[in-house]
Chain A
Amino acid sequence: MFTTATTTSQKLLQMGAAILLFAAVIGLILFIAGRFTGKADRAVAALYLAPTVLMLSVGLLYPGLRTIYQSFFDASLKNFIGFENYATILSDPEQLTVLRNTAFWVLVTPFVATGVGLLYAILVDKARMESFAKALVFLPMSISFVAAGVIWKFMYEYRPDQGTVKQIGLINQIIVWLGGEPVQLLIESPLNTFLLIAVMVWIQAGFAMTVLSAAIKAIPDDIIEAARLDGVGPWGMFRFVTLPAIRPAVIVVVTTIAIGTLKVFDIVQTMTGGRFDTSVIANEFYSQTFRSDNRGLGAALAVVLFILVIPIVVYNIRQLRRSEA
């Protein structure tokens, strides 16, 4: 059953077996849980949690620990080299560029995307054709990062200013219309990193707008009414009423986008492949592990990514707890 299935019938059989196994495990848990009577809450809870814990340890904890372990080894994972991989990440000029780019991404994307989303949500709130206007901004959300990368690669496409050659990229065409010379947008560093960030903002602004718009609509009307009666202007309304009311939502949006941004891989891989000084940690980790066959450095990069995500997750959880307390 665990061998590779080759024919369709074998695959169906495997799938059936997997579903049966799943049902059997659930059945077993329910059966055992049913045996407990009276005040055995903890035992029942532990039982219910057991499969999750097991899966988490096999699928997350063990690989995580193993990655950390491997990050102390050399390219072939044979020789222990201590913190050398981490030293490389912090000293090698190429790796420093990777860290710099990652910093750009994390510092710019969440705030710009949330800002754009928030502004849009406020502007279209209770406007005519609100849902249509929202749909326009939300649509990019449904496009995969790879597809978005391909689309924007065309936006930035460069053709030389030679004879009959026509621009096919929108941005360069606009530059030409304005009387400028076409620019090789994706080659100039660090401009290119910000052009890639624009793609992420384009995708995530819709997400920010949707969540924040819902939060704005959830503000009780009487508060707004009271503020109006007190003579609060539009800016004051935003500053003293709207923003405090939607603060938890803003934090969730910013942190969610920040985590997504740290993991960004597809956009970079599709648009530049990490060339021209645009690589970020997630892309470099892949490139070192699979392209360059430097497993140790790849693992170390993954660990760095993990470490960078932790404070954001912790902050997110603390804010959620506080807002619910």
Chain B
Amino acid sequence: MFVQRGSSRSRVALAGALSAGLVLGLSACADSKEDGGTGTVPAASVGAIDCAPYAAFGDLKGKEVSIYTGIVTPEDAPQKQSYKPFEDCTGVTIKYEGDKSFETQVLIRAEAGNPPDVAYVPQPGLLQRLVATGKAKEAPAETAALVDKNFGADWKAYGTVDGKFYAAPLGANVKSLVWYSPKEFKDNGYTVPTTLADLKALSDKIAATGKKPWCAGISSGEATGWPLTDWMEDFYLRLNGVEAYDKWVKHELPFNSAESTKALDAVGEYLKNDKYVNGGLGDVKSIASTTFQDAGLQIIEGNCSLHRQASFYAANFDKNTKVAEDGDVYAFYLPGETADKKPVLGGGEFVLAFADRPEVKAFQTYLATDTWANAKAKVSSGWVSANKGLQISNLVNPIDQLSAKILQDPNAQFRFDGSDMMPAAVGSNAFWKQSTNWITGQDTKTTLDAIEAAWPK
């Protein structure tokens, strides 16, 4: 800032050399993040597993596999715990690194040639970008075989890039849920709606009592707007069907087509409706400034009755809140147009490897087994997997059981979160930004046109 003229030359040289030393020294400790906390003490044990399948990978004792993920405290504890049987069997140490800015950092690390052994990628779009760096490895044949056995073809497709299978699904979540208070429903004689028309009628009924039925919040730092994209995707699926949805995600249908207008306007009937929102939080605009975490808590406060948010929202209620069908708060499936049509919007993570050492392959294989899914189920809350071998009875939390039931319903038509599959310029930028503008007053046409314009040519 205050450069002193005439400072001796040697001092300048020293500063230069010093900064060189500093740079070298710093780079040495740049990635010295300690291996996280040990997490909470397990309530239940995951039990031992059959070690035989991993013997095929050779002697792995003393080897190490590094994992990089956006799954941080408190959800990282059950993750680490579920690796224990594998570690015990093979002698491999799993080095876990959770980072909230995983989504931007993993790409930088991959491009800089410093990727982890394994990354848990939460978006198929990001997966494609990571594969495009040329640093990712295809999934081993053992993993691919297990994925064929345990997962639906759609889930395998999300982990496939250009016809090559890279990443097996890990966890999953169900987004098509509406949180509500079972007690309030019982006291007022409300029933869980089974069609979209029912949902509308229920909203009107609650609004007639003078209460704002819905509460919503889309604030989430620089990701502000994403909860709204989920709303729109859910309604897109319901009003236009899965085929149109697939085309929309691939941009075979333009973003500003009639289908999108229909979906967004349908969302507007709920969220831009002064009679419906925003219970306990303000007017329509307050949706933009309320965090999605805070919004649903208004159900407990008695200020609103309904909050559309994914299964992982369960983690936001405090310990004294009973999340169950007969408890303080629970969720129901956001209904389709008719009771037998069941599109399900969801998300999940995928296991992408950047190394093909035997221990990495063995670990990938372990994560694709139903053994792991069930072991993980026993120790976690707010977690579910699309693994067909997952036994619902192993899940502890009622919401997880509900999610698993929805995922395994033969009528269910599962579709992955659309914004997570679109190119980053749309899926994690324009779509979020324009949705935010939309809720603060921008009209539907301007919104959709702007998103369409952002699609990479």
Complex interface bits, A265-299 against B, C-beta within 8 A gives 1, otherwise 0:
00001000111100000000001101111100000
Q: Is A4 an interface residue (CB 8 A)?
A: yes
CB-based contact B25/A19 at 8 Å: yes
Contact of A184 (CB < 8 Å), options: B19, B24, B221, B285: B285
- Interface segment among A20-28, A137-145, A198-206, A226-234: the answer is A20-28
CB-based contact A55/B436 at 8 Å: no
CB-based contact A59/B436 at 8 Å: no
Cα(A11)–Cα(B2), bound, Å = 35
Q: Which of B277-292 contact A (CB under 8 A)?
A: 278, 280-283, 285-286, 288-289
Q: Is B12 an interface residue (CB 8 A)?
A: yes
Given contacts A19-B21, A158-B289, A187-B440, contact A275 B433 (CB under 8 A): yes
Chain B residues, CB < 8 A from A273: 221-224
CB-based contact A292/B424 at 8 Å: yes
Cα(A52)–Cα(B16), bound, Å = 4
Q: Is A308 an interface residue (CB 8 A)?
A: no
Q: Which residue of B lies closest to A277 (CB)?
A: B437
Q: Tell which of A11, A25, A48 has the most Cβ of chain B within 10 Å.
A: A48
Given contacts A21-B21, A184-B286, contact A48 B32 (CB under 8 A): no
Chain B residues, CB < 8 A from A8: 32
Interface contact tally, CB-CB below 8 A: 141
Q: Is A37 an interface residue (CB 8 A)?
A: no
Q: Which of B41-57 contact A (CB under 8 A)?
A: none
CB-based contact B29/A55 at 8 Å: no
Q: Which of A1-31 contact B (CB under 8 A)?
A: 4-6, 8, 11, 14-15, 17-19, 21-22, 25-26, 29
CB-based contact B32/A11 at 8 Å: yes
Cα(A23)–Cα(B174), bound, Å = 58
CB-based contact B29/A6 at 8 Å: no
Q: Which of A182-237 contact B (CB under 8 A)?
A: 184, 186-187
Q: Is A63 an interface residue (CB 8 A)?
A: no
Chain A residues, CB < 8 A from B95: 6
Q: Which residue of B lies closest to A317 (CB)?
A: B3
Tally A residues with Cβ within 8 Å of B: 55
Chain B residues, CB < 8 A from A294: 425, 456
Cα(A19)–Cα(B129), bound, Å = 38
CB-based contact B12/A48 at 8 Å: yes
Q: Is A91 an interface residue (CB 8 A)?
A: no
* Shortest beta-carbon distance from A246 to chain B in Å: 15
CB-based contact B425/A18 at 8 Å: no
Cα(A75)–Cα(B430), bound, Å = 15
CB-based contact A29/B17 at 8 Å: yes
Chain A residues, CB < 8 A from B28: 5, 11, 14-15, 17-18
Q: Is A51 an interface residue (CB 8 A)?
A: yes
Interface of B is mostly: helix
CB-based contact A11/B25 at 8 Å: no
Chain A residues, CB < 8 A from B23: 55, 59
Interface of A is mostly: helix
Q: Tell which of A75, A293, A324 has the most Cβ of chain B within 10 Å.
A: A293
Complex interface bits, A145-160 against B, C-beta within 8 A gives 1, otherwise 0:
0000000000000111
Given contacts A48-B13, A52-B13, contact A275 B224 (CB under 8 A): yes
Cα(A162)–Cα(B17), bound, Å = 62
Q: Is B320 an interface residue (CB 8 A)?
A: no
Q: Which residue of B lies closest to A18 (CB)?
A: B24
Contact of A15 (CB < 8 Å), options: B17, B29, B104, B289: B29
CB-based contact B20/A51 at 8 Å: yes
Q: Is B31 an interface residue (CB 8 A)?
A: yes
CB-based contact B12/A52 at 8 Å: yes
Q: Is A178 an interface residue (CB 8 A)?
A: no
Cα(A290)–Cα(B13), bound, Å = 35
Cα(A29)–Cα(B222), bound, Å = 48
CB-based contact A187/B2 at 8 Å: no
Q: Is A96 an interface residue (CB 8 A)?
A: no
Complex interface bits, B192-234 against A, C-beta within 8 A gives 1, otherwise 0:
0000000000000000000000000000011111000000000
CB-based contact A324/B425 at 8 Å: no
Contact of A21 (CB < 8 Å), options: B24, B114, B278, B282: B24
Q: Is B429 an interface residue (CB 8 A)?
A: yes
Q: Is A174 an interface residue (CB 8 A)?
A: no
Q: Tell which of B3, B21, B66, B303 has the most Cβ of chain A within 10 Å.
A: B21
Complex interface bits, B1-39 against A, C-beta within 8 A gives 1, otherwise 0:
111010001101111111111011101110110000000
CB-based contact B16/A51 at 8 Å: yes
Can you name 15 extra interface pairs (CB under 8 A) apart from A5-B28, A75-B456, A276-B288? A22-B20, A29-B13, A49-B13, A52-B13, A55-B19, A75-B425, A94-B433, A159-B282, A160-B278, A160-B283, A187-B440, A273-B224, A275-B225, A276-B436, A293-B425
Name B's A-contacting residues (CB within 8 A).
Answer: 1-3, 5, 9-10, 12-21, 23-25, 27-29, 31-32, 64, 66, 95, 104, 107-108, 114, 129, 221-225, 278, 280-283, 285-286, 288-289, 303, 423-425, 428-430, 433, 436, 440, 456
21 contacting pairs across A/B (C-beta < 8 A): A5-B31, A11-B28, A17-B28, A22-B18, A22-B24, A22-B25, A48-B12, A159-B282, A160-B281, A184-B289, A186-B289, A187-B285, A273-B221, A275-B225, A275-B436, A287-B429, A288-B429, A290-B108, A292-B428, A293-B423, A294-B425
